[in-house]
Amino acid sequence: MDFSTEACDWNKAADSTLLDAKSDCIVVGVFDAQTLFGAAKRLDSITNGLVRRLVKSGDLGRKTGATLMLHEVDGVGASRVLLVGLGKPDALDPKTFTNVARAAWHAVLATRTTSVMWMLTQVTVNDRNSGWSARMSVLTLRELVYQYTRTKSSPAADEPHGSAIKRVIVVVNPGDKKVARIALKEGIAISNGIDLTRELGNLPSNICTPTYLADVAKQLAKDWNLMVEVLNRQQIEALRMGAFLSVAKGSPQLPQFIILQYQPFGEKQAPVVLIGKGITFDSGGISIKPGENMDEMKYDMCGAGSVLGTFRTIAEMGLKLNIIGLIPTCENMPSGYANKPGDIVTSLSGQTIEILNTDAEGRLILCDALTYAERFKPAAVIDIATLTGACVIALGSHNSGLFSKDDALADRLLAAGRYALDPAWRLPIDDEYCGQLKSNFADMANIGGRPASSVTAACFLSHFTKTYPWAHLDIAGTAWKSGSKKGATGRPVSLLTQFLIDWAK
């Protein structure tokens, strides 16, 4: 799918010839008013008032995001014209624009259109520029055309068989062409990273094993000139990562510790470290989970998947920033070798942990990765994990949970999430909650009981982050969808990428 830009001033006759260009579909936005602007006004003019009549008659519909497909319109070079309702001009905020764009792409994808002239990027979105609109136009289309086919012998009869779209021309106002061209490249790169994250999440755990994730990291390194190191069980044992290894020992699948390095500045710049939880299947271990929906525990590696997807994105973008990725990955299974409630393990930091619940395993693998991160002298560390069901209860599927004691770092992540429409919500991580982790037999327990359990999980991790600015993203509610639309979402690749773009600036 090829994306390019064209600049157009509809008040200039020479530019207005863009409507004469041959394509399969032109997408034009129409505000909820009798007054027409830009492309809609010019289209109305050359069709002798057709757009105005359709708006007045109600054929387009008053609902924001309503669409009306017109065929073989006289005076227009495209075989189709899609009119899209934009609502009121002062109400076109970023979320509304994205919903409108998604509705428009749905209508286009319902046809066999191969080339599209996309003019929604000329409308003004509150608090955003045309570059943002161009990026989101790419992201919404790529989100809709993604299909999981890896383990299907053939598509189901009621499923679309992929997009026919081959070319999209994004039309912007004069003076915006350069920023839009950059934004398109960002949108394509982010979409590629999201697709990788979604694909990894959707793969079954008998394919997407710890070794498989390590192989994906190695391929990324090869394709994008990254540095990669994968530590095996013996090397992890030599490091004394006792907490990580305790989770892995119940499964015949061998643990892997993946270290990715993207360092355009060598060692001259302190890196940002991303740590992704990589439990490729979480049975709960001896504290086994209920059978219902346990298949969704293949998604417990979505933190790791988001780190790999983000590295895919920033490498394609050529971002000028040092970034380290750490992925501890293993399975959490019940067996005669598995952790038992009451076991005590020693972490890489030397702190001891009483395991009261073997289903609280993500924090055990993350804590050793957080300690390992110290050797890079990082500017900031962010861990990403499908960590707690309590976060789903608290925030649902709209916001990822954000925990940090560093206000500046938290504010940067929140701002990035708002801009990227991949939002997070900050939850408390006060010292008072740490008391729930008290153990009579070790330095701390791995759970603090049911009250505020997503908070105490973050408090547990905070014990291993004393030497650098740190934030924790709990993506248990946002990394995948359940039900009839079951599948990985690719979040929070957009949030992380925007955060890194802002940090690089």
DSSP sequence for 83-111: EEEEE-GGG--HHHHHHHHHHHHHHHHTT
Residue 505 tokens, joined = 């600036």
CA angle, 284 then 285 then 291, to 5°: 50
Q: Where are the beta strands (DSSP E) in 125-206?
A: 167-172
Torsion, Cα of 312, 491, 246, 205 (10° steps): -80
The residues spanned by each domain of the chain are 2-173, 194-504
Residues forming a β-bridge with 27: 82, 118
What secondary structure letter does DSSP report for 332?
Answer: E
Mean pLDDT of 465-480: 98
Mean pLDDT of 15-34: 86
Cα(168)–Cα(347) distance, rounded to whole angstroms? 52
* Residue 159: predicted pLDDT: 57
**265 contacts 320 by C-beta, under 8 angstroms:** yes
* Residue 160: predicted pLDDT: 56
* Residue 89: predicted pLDDT: 87
Query: Which range is least confidently modeled, 61-70, 160-169, 244-253, 375-384?
Result: 160-169
Residue 354 tokens, joined = 């009483």
Tokens 């050529």 correspond to: 318
Work out the angle between the directed axes of helices 302-317 and 177-202 (0-180°, nearest 10): 150
Reported as a pLDDT band with limits 50, 70 and 90, residue 79 is very high
Q: Smallest Cα–Cα separation from 376: which of 503, 272, 279, 276?
A: 272
Q: Is the pLDDT of residue 377 over 90?
A: yes
* Residue 157: predicted pLDDT: 53
Reported as a pLDDT band with limits 50, 70 and 90, residue 446 is very high
Residues forming a β-bridge with 25: 116
Reported as a pLDDT band with limits 50, 70 and 90, residue 56 is confident
Reported as a pLDDT band with limits 50, 70 and 90, residue 448 is very high
Catalytic residues: 289, 363
* Residue 48: predicted pLDDT: 92
Task: Give 105-141 as a 3 state SS string.
Answer: HHHHHCCCCCEEEECHHHCCCCCCCHHHHHHHHHHHH
Mean pLDDT of 382-408: 98
**460 contacts 446 by C-beta, under 8 angstroms:** yes
Q: Smallest Cα–Cα separation from 321: which of 135, 502, 131?
A: 502
Residue 98 tokens, joined = 């994205």
In the CATH scheme, what is the code of domain 2-173? Answer: 3.40.220.10
Q: Is the pLDDT of residue 4 over 90?
A: yes
Residue 484 tokens, joined = 């009839």
**470 contacts 376 by C-beta, under 8 angstroms:** no
Q: Is the pLDDT of residue 37 over 60?
A: yes
What tens digit of pLDDT does each residue of 89-109 get? 889 999 999 999 999 999 999
Percent residues over pLDDT 90 in the chain: 90
* Residue 114: predicted pLDDT: 95
Can you list the alpha helix ranges (DSSP code H) found in 350-486? 362-372, 389-395, 407-420, 453-462
Q: Smallest Cα–Cα separation from 328: which of 381, 272, 276?
A: 276
**250 contacts 339 by C-beta, under 8 angstroms:** yes
* Residue 162: predicted pLDDT: 62
Query: Which range is least confidently modeled, 24-38, 239-253, 476-490?
Result: 24-38
Percent residues over pLDDT 70 in the chain: 97
What secondary structure letter does DSSP report for 56?
Answer: H
Cα(247)–Cα(9) distance, rounded to whole angstroms? 61
* CATH fold for domain 194-504: Aminopeptidase (3.40.630)
Reported as a pLDDT band with limits 50, 70 and 90, residue 379 is very high
Cα(178)–Cα(174) distance, rounded to whole angstroms? 10
Q: How far apart are the first and last CA of the chain?
A: 29
Reported as a pLDDT band with limits 50, 70 and 90, residue 34 is low
Tell me the C-alpha to C-alpha distance, in Å, between residue 465 and each of 55, 378, 381, 424: 58, 11, 9, 21
What does the mean pLDDT of the chain come to? 95
Per CATH, 2-173 and 194-504 having the same topology is answered no
Cα(459)–Cα(478) distance, rounded to whole angstroms? 21
What tens digit of pLDDT does each residue of 136-170 get? 999 999 999 999 999 999 866 555 556 789 999 99
To which H or E segment does residue 16 belong?
helix 13-16
Q: Is the pLDDT of residue 456 over 90?
A: yes
